[in-house]
Structure 1
């Protein structure tokens, strides 16, 4: 996308024209904070096995959907309503969702891993189809006809051919027995009215108009504002101690809160809290410096044990042999942040007998467990309510800031709003882990004869939950002098290549949390994007060694027809011309040089299929520019085509930025990339043109699309740079050094 530079002023000047098509009421940019109160809790089951845990029908025929999976900006609120509307045979407009509330919604764990439609959608479809069957059975009794003669549509059941004999769902609901088990095999209507259509997203109009209330916009009655005073070892794993606090360094109208190494201030206004945080004099002890190194890998290598084999076949070492035709390569990936445009925020109202926290967490129930431990409360006395935050791409600071706010509210005995600063977000939110991938391979007779993969990685999951209590929130670490619990998760995601090799071995060397240097956890795709960067770059290196076209070489190692289909589709859509990479050109050829590269991944080796072709320009002046990205995407049954395209486009843009620009920097004191100047992201003029080929498979279950399209992007770009220049770039962010 060759996008002209557009200033904020010009965007806002054009907003009126932009918004006309939405037919908005009121001004197009009506910004206002909103005072919030929790939705009244009702007596309903919260387990996942009964229909009425998921659905309710009101007297006026509205359908309330209770979802533990939440809207993170991905469009799932709209898609889940589409699924329920079809399965229950009601109109989409009569549905509404209550999401992520420990007093009202079932416990569905985290909204993560591209599992909302795949798992949450399937469960809601089953609950709605079960409810429809119950309503039909009750209507058959009331109307004294066989169920086969009944038609359910738009929240009514009528006798086929007799318009006078009609019952509303609301008329049947008290007798319908919604206190019944969810039948996972319940059949939804064959005809799809809403699923498969690009139903407009319900959240977009208010977001574009500035009327949407993100968590950052909410207020509580009589609340104070708070800020946390952090130790100077920004973002590091080790917890220091507080030596002393000069309480006279701030004004009298400021509350100071200290528990262990957790220090915060609270005041009646946000500005007063910010000033107090700057003014408070704290002396710290037991500060442990970061290693004096540009990368973490020497420290990782010293701390990690031997590799744990996760997949293997054949005798890899024998197949590799000891000849000079064995290829080896090492690929590095840096620590990265979540790029949320709005820093993390939370509201908390902790009282003697209850605690209510409003959070942008991805898991209200795991967070409740951590907060109950931190506050020393029974879990049943803690309520966590989800409110969408301004950007979420994994385990960012949302859980941590909720714990901060809860501690302060408990200490000062009043409602609290606590928002992190940009420096807090960049410095202290969990990072996507740095990783190193080492590969060896050998080609014989034009095919891969041996493949050996080993990576070095911290865990990609230190979220609340899993019995960790308060250990997996930052405030818990500071209060108790601990670090997050060790769970070796995510670093091996997509470590096995998706191809058929006769001899292969895949292993992972795990780095304990205490040795990870920075706080690490889940960032979009977990380890899939890193591992696929290595795998899909290395398969290209082997193709070049075999003097084979990269597309044909991949297809020769694939039997899965859906995998082959996405590769063939993207090659056709991109106009791929079969040849060996790199391009043959004179060394004196002027820049910019152009190249194309491709990559493929099946997410987690068992879900959505994605193939990508990237086209780049490489010049000595501008470096690497991605001009065009073509994506073929197969995630089974497509619920909302336009929403799916939105997700793919967002994945592409973020992954291009992660590939070319993003890396956390640090010195001996901790993280130094504490603003957008130190941590640049992709800008509008740098965005490529994106073309998408959706492969709909109505006969297959839906799988998630929140992450898969990110996975092959880095390798496709690196392979395109090689095609253009003959130079292999194996460290992200990719940097062109001006020689080929």
Structure 2
């Protein structure tokens, strides 16, 4: 992606980033590389269709019955109003998996290798961050450059029937996000650049829970932590100093207090022990609301295995009518983030996807699940906003920062598999 001829767009710019970095006593860079992720529902998708010359009935687990009907109309050449799509309960997932593919056949049951191998994958991403701070611990410059391709607009089944592939034009979730990158900090000099990679030569992309946000914060919040480290400041205290928005401060303070965070510089308790512990903090969101997380992890330096012991997540979604429901959402987000940051990665060669089962595409197991503490920051005078994705970005960053706290080593690519961990520790 980094070497492609891209369509470049400045998403947001103010001040003079280059001059501010050049004149600052503390400057850092951070690279972040995130993989494709699969939806991987526990049960593969299936559907039944009764297609006649002038009408059709389709029963499937689609999450978008009207969108599926529109797609079927194009493939079948039947007016959409003559197609009936019925939802039937099945194995669910968050985002656009293979349910529309199976809907475009008379009777279709995907096997595990079909589901893993023909998915609409959560997008891969490369991010590069530059940031700088003054001697008083104030962030004076921030720059983020991001590379990713847009998502597929045509199902695999439709392509196999003769419809040419096409990219979906970029929505807010498909590009560098001004809300999730730098907006939480009071920075006079800021620049965000989106590099749109031509997507026809890559795997199909699509909606997936918090699709690019984990990658954004994995890079961005590690850069912020680096600045705190150079200044010999506690990561929470450093963020407090640089955040003025009371809602970002609200989630940051709520999660730190829930975790009983005691201020100290990161990586100040390094040990030669076989198993070392670390903690990390991070903020981030999706397209609305405010999120923050703390991660407590253990790293086995001999095997490279990371275990998330406890995850704390806070969301400010304005007026929360049902706090218990949102707490459940936060808990699920934290568990899924641990799985994606530590384990999940779509692998492929020049001809096909190679991660076709639970051994080659591992996910977090029940015995590996951390304790979770969800926190709802209630704002009764604010409008209600999203709460299904908004803590995952901060949680991804918190895990990466906890790894540095435990080992003194920064990671540039996730998932943080044992092989990557051992390689990073060896280089250090």
TM superposition score normalised by structure 1: 0.54
The equivalent of 1:396 in structure 2 is: 97
Q: 249, 259, 276: which one pairs with 1:564? A: 249
Does 2:210 match 1:525?
Answer: yes
2:122 to 411, 420, 432: 432
The 3-state SS of whatever aligns with 1:455 is strand
The alpha carbon displacement at 1:641 in A equals: 2.5
Query: 2:197 maps to what in 1?
Result: 511
Instruction: Choose which of 614, 638, 645 in structure 1 pairs with 2:295.
Output: 614
Conserved? CA contact 1:332–1:437, under 8 Å:
yes
Would you say the 8 A contact 1:335–1:434 is kept in 2?
yes
- Where in structure 1 do 4 or more consecutive aligned residues deviate above 3 Å? 322-326
| In structure 1, C-alpha distance between the alignment counterparts of 2:203 and 2:299, rounded to whole Å | 33
Task: Describe the shift of the 1:308–1:388 C-alpha distance in structure 2 as closer, same or farther (beyond 3 A).
Answer: farther
Aligned-pair distance for 1:377? Answer: 0.9
Aligned equivalent of 1:596? 279
Question: Is contact 2:285-2:394 (8 Å) kept?
Answer: no
Tell me the residue number matched to 1:319. Answer: 20
CA distance in 1, matches of 2:254, 2:65: 40
Q: Report the alpha carbon displacement of residue 437 of structure 1 after superposing the two structures with TM.
A: 0.2
Is the 1:566–1:632 Cα contact (8 Å) retained in structure 2? yes
Distance apart, 1:688 and its partner CA: 0.4
Question: Does the 8 Å contact 1:596/1:724 carry over to 2?
Answer: yes
2:139 corresponds, among 444, 448, 464, to: 448
Q: Cα offset for 1:614?
A: 0.4
The structural deviation recorded for 1:321 is 1.8
Confirm or deny: 8 A CA contact 1:311 1:496 kept in the other structure. Answer: no
Partner of 2:366: 684
Alpha-carbon distance in 1 for matches of 2:210, 2:374: 20
Number of corresponding residues = 416
Mapped partners of 2:220, 2:118: distance in 1 = 31
Is 1:337 aligned to 2:337, yes or no? no
Contact 2:285–2:391 at 8 Å: present in 1 too?
no
Given the alignment of the two structures, is residue 346 of structure 1 paired with residue 47 of structure 2, yes or no?
yes
Partner of 2:148: 457
State whether residues 462 and 487 of structure 1, in contact with CA within 8 Å, keep that contact through their aligned partners in structure 2. no
Task: Report the counterpart of residue 3 of structure 2 in structure 1.
Answer: 302
Note the aligned Cα RMSD (angstroms): 1.8
- Give unmatched runs, 5+ long, in structure 2: none
| Higher relative contact order structure (alpha carbons within 8 Å, sequence separation ≥ 6) | 2
Tell me the distance in 1 between the aligned counterparts of 2:31 and 2:376.
Answer: 34
- Per-residue displacement from partner, 1:42-68 (whole Å, max 9, x unpaired)? xxxxxxxxxxxxxxxxxxxxxxxxxxx
By how many angstroms is 1:539 displaced? 0.9
Of 704-713 and 490-499, the range deviating more from structure 2: 490-499
CA contact (8 A) 1:491 1:526 kept: no
Which ranges of structure 1 fall in alignment gaps of 5 or more residues?
1-299, 410-416, 464-471
User: Which of the two has higher C-alpha Rg?
Assistant: 1
Deviation at residue 479 of structure 1 after TM alignment? 2.0
Contact 2:180 2:285 survives alignment (8 Å): no
**Residue-by-residue CA offset, 1:476-508 (whole Å, 9 max, x unaligned):** 212225213341232324553222210010011
CA 486–692 in structure 1, closer or farther in 2 if over 3 Å, else same? closer
The secondary structure found in structure 1 opposite 2:2 is helix
User: CA separation in 2, counterparts of 1:710 and 1:536?
Assistant: 13
1:708 counterpart SS class:
coil
Output aligned runs, 1:178-257, within 5 Å. Answer: none
Mapped partners of 2:265, 2:25: distance in 1: 22
Give 1:306 deviation, angstroms: 4.8
- Asked if structure 1 preserves the Cα contact closer than 8 Å seen for 2:27 and 2:227, the reply is no
Question: For residues 144-159 of structure 1, what are the structure 2 equivalents within 5 Å?
Answer: none
Matched residue of 1:456: which SS?
strand
Contact 1:447–1:546 under 8 Å retained in 2 = no
CA distance in 2, matches of 1:508, 1:522: 18
* Counterpart contact for 2:299–2:307, Cα < 8 Å: yes
